[in-house]
Amino acid sequence: MVQTTNRFFDEMARLMNDAAGVASGVRKEVETIFQAQAERILRNLDVVTREEFEAIKEMAAKARDENERLAARIAELEKKLRAAPKGEGSQGA
């Protein structure tokens, strides 16, 4: 009887081990399918990647800085133009 019980438990352990392996394989397959679906949905939504977002963000910051620099330059030139004696400002162009 002892050998039959041990054999029964060995078979149950092997069965459980096999079931765990199958469950792990199924889990990996479901994760792969889910990830593929999520990527497909995101592609259809035209969502940008983090790298693209960061690149555009940096470009926008540079453009904003350049715009501020040019606005300050225009203000300075306008100030000089207003301060110039009449008749002198029209000759420079």
> CA 12, 13, 17, 22: dihedral to nearest 10 degrees?
0
What average pLDDT does the segment 8-25 reach? Answer: 87
Interacting residues of 74 by C-beta distance below 8 A, sequence separation 6+:
none
Domain count, the chain: 2
Domain co-membership, 4 together with 43: yes
Interacting residues of 56 by C-beta distance below 8 A, sequence separation 6+:
48
* Domain hosting residue 67, numbered range: 48-84
Domain co-membership, 43 together with 19: yes
Q: Do the domain assignments include residue 32?
A: yes
In percent, how much of the chain has pLDDT > 90? 47
Q: Look at residue 90 in the predicted model and tell me its pLDDT.
A: 55
Which pTM was predicted? 0.45
Domain co-membership, 1 together with 43: yes
Q: Do the domain assignments include residue 57?
A: yes
